[in-house]
Amino acid sequence: MGEFDYTDLLPLGADDTEYRLITTEGVRKVEAAGRTFLEVDPEALRLLTETAVHDISHYLRASHLAQLRKIIEDPESSGNDRFVALDLLKNASISAGGVLPMCQDTGTAIVMGKRGRHVLTDGRDAEHVARGVYDAYTRLNLRYSQMAPLTMWEEKNTGSNLPAQIELYAEDPHGHPDEYKLLFMAKGGGSANKSFLYQETKAVLNEKRMMAFLEEKIRSLGTAACPPYHLAIVVGGTSAEYALKTAKYASARYLDSIPTEGSPSGHGFRDLEMEAKVFELTQKLGIGAQFGGKYFCHDVRVIRLPRHGASCPVAIAVSCSADRQALAKITPEGVFLEQLETDPARFLPETTDEHLSDDVVRIDLNRPMPEILAELSKYPVKTRLSLTGPLVVARDIAHAKIAELLDEGGEMPQYLKDHAVYYAGPAKTPEGYASGSFGPTTAGRMDSYVERFQAAGGSMVMLAKGNRSKQVTEACQKYGGFYLGSIGGPAARLAQDCIKKVEVLEYPELGMEAVWKIEVVDFPAFIVVDDKGDDFFTDRTGPVLTIGRR
């Protein structure tokens, strides 16, 4: 029988975050029962939340931007790696203007707070945080993505991006009873959908088996969530849900200061050696920053947790190119928010696009569809394109409605026959702009429609982010279609530089899910699936590990 030995499961080290002061109002010291308390007004929580949502929608951490610059400077980076990194830096520079958010999927608002035992509020903290979320999303050029279930099958957009996920704990942060510390995150659907739980056994707890297991699972992440990723892996956990939550925090680098060695007390720790090995693995996969190369990931975090002897959960999560999170604290000195980078342009290199990428093929989308298909057929997968002309925009609900139309004996809409289709949904359009942030959504959600739509003459050229299933490759080979990959992440740059006109074609009642027609100029894309049955990603499915092999 072991002796009593209490430990936090995830003991954090010192907080070396650089903060900026938001306000000194709404906080004060009060004396009661021989102790000093920190009293926090509702407005302090509301203002902090609204400001945090604004900042994480427009700014990134300087460390993240430095990693993008590193890709451009690395001579081992592929041309496509460098092109994606440059585009993401340009996007960050535009977003930092505070008008266009960095990504059109402005995410689910997630807030985690730790309130010290000497912090006094009115007890409605979650409500005040939610109000701050509401104010940010309704006042800024952000997108409403939250669907309220009315019945098991019917949903309605809440029109405010509420509800938020708010989790508050009674815990002295870093041992300070008079502090309130918070983590703010905005999690888009793309990266949220790449959170996975695997229920394994002790058999995976050796290096050879674990590395082979991780290679398979990391490959399955694909590019739909906009790499380069901050990849987090958690091995163990007192429950499945704790493993997943730990992976989410680790992907935000929230757990960087936990111990790097284990102990008999059972606390979690970072395995720095495994982090280096997994990071090296990701560089050998060949997937790169979306279209081939070295930088599938910026970095890797590997957390080892205690576990029940009969259970070994393994959780994997990513933070994407919209790496949106910020720490905050409320102390007797005021309300503080992590200082994010407001001048990302300082990370831009002097070199131009032409120095950073391969040759570009220009495609005129004003030409008839047969001519567009014939032009695309001249080039292999991985070819970089520049698109100019009209695109039709349609995503999940619009595809479902068109499928219903075909079910009822109707014709494929002419706009899907005449034009390439872009899977996307815009954020709000700021005054004076042609478009709000308007980046691609995950292509795989539309896979089940492709064969049927192409058979009816539609969706012959598709544009989105991420990899597609085998059925899409087979349909393109059968009907002569193409799937073009768009860079996932630079929604603000696309809105400012590439999209010149936006109008609703059909289903205006669907809001951002309507069918749109847009005019684009020099819109970047890559051939991912061609009309010959080639798929860029299928060339990168073989194992690269030699660990334990002879």
pLDDT tens string 31-75? 999 999 999 999 999 999 999 999 999 999 999 999 999 999 999
Residue 179: pLDDT over 70: yes
Asked if 290 and 226 count as a contact pair (C-beta separation under 8 A), the reply is yes
Give the residue, 545 or 363, on which the prediction is more confident: 363
23-49 b/e (C-beta count within 10 Å ≥ 16 → b): eeebbeeeeeeeeebbbbbbebbbbbb
Instruction: Identify whether the C-beta of residue 102 lies closer than 8 Å to the C-beta of residue 437.
Output: yes
pLDDT recorded at residue 550: 32
Residues with Cβ within 8 Å of 409's Cβ and at least 6 positions away in sequence, in order, are: none
What is the model's pLDDT at position 266? 95
On whether the CB atoms of residues 424 and 438 are closer than 8 A, the answer is: yes
Integer-rounded Cα radius of gyration of the chain: 24
* Cα distance between residue 418 and residue 86, in whole Å: 32
Higher-pLDDT residue of 543, 432? 432
- pLDDT tens per residue across span 257-313: 999 999 999 999 999 999 999 999 999 999 999 888 999 999 999 999 999 999 999
- 421 strand-pairing partners: 392, 462
Q: What is the pLDDT of residue 291?
A: 87
Query: pTM here?
Result: 0.88
* Alpha-carbon dihedral sign for residues 318, 114, 63, 214: negative
The model's confidence at residue 119, banded by pLDDT at 50, 70 and 90, is: very high
Task: Provide the pLDDT for residue 548.
Answer: 43
Say what the pLDDT of residue 355 is: 46
pLDDT of residue 536: 87
pLDDT confidence of 540, banded at 50, 70, 90? low
Is 60 exceeded by the pLDDT of residue 433? yes
The count of other CB atoms within 10 Å of the CB of residue 74 is 15
Give the pLDDT confidence of 83-114 residue by residue, as tens digits.
999 999 999 999 999 999 999 999 999 999 99
Long-range contacts of 498-501 (CB under 8 A, 24+ apart): 498/522, 498/523, 498/524, 499/434, 499/435, 499/438, 499/523, 500/434, 501/434
More confident of the two residues 451 and 467: 451
Nearest to 12 by CA among 269, 332, 378: 269
Distance CA 234, CA 344 (A): 31
Cα(199)–Cα(206) distance, rounded to whole angstroms? 16
Instruction: State the pLDDT at residue 64.
Output: 98
Residue range 209-224: average pLDDT? 94
Asked if pLDDT for residue 362 goes beyond 80, the answer is yes
Q: Are 529 and 381 in contact (CB under 8 A)?
A: yes
pLDDT, tens only, 469-497 = 999 999 999 999 999 998 888 889 999 99
Model confidence band, residue 512 (pLDDT cutoffs 50, 70, 90) = confident
Q: How far is CA 527 from CA 313, 522, 535, in A?
A: 38, 15, 9
Write the CA distances from 421 to 161, 179, 199, 404, integer angstroms.
27, 51, 39, 18
Mean pLDDT of 146-152: 96
CA–CA separation, 88 and 360 (whole Å):
18
**Which amino acid is residue 443, in one-letter code?**
A
Q: Are 304 and 269 in contact (CB under 8 A)?
A: yes
What percent of the chain clears pLDDT 90, i.e. is strictly above it? 87
Query: Tokens standing for 530?
Result: 């061609």
Mean pLDDT of all residues in 223-240: 96
How high is the mean pLDDT of the chain? 94
Question: What Å distances lie between residue 144 and 55, 429, 548, CA to CA?
Answer: 17, 13, 49
In angstroms, the CA 511 to CA 139 distance is: 17
Reply yes or no on domain 361-529 having CATH 3.20.130.10.
yes
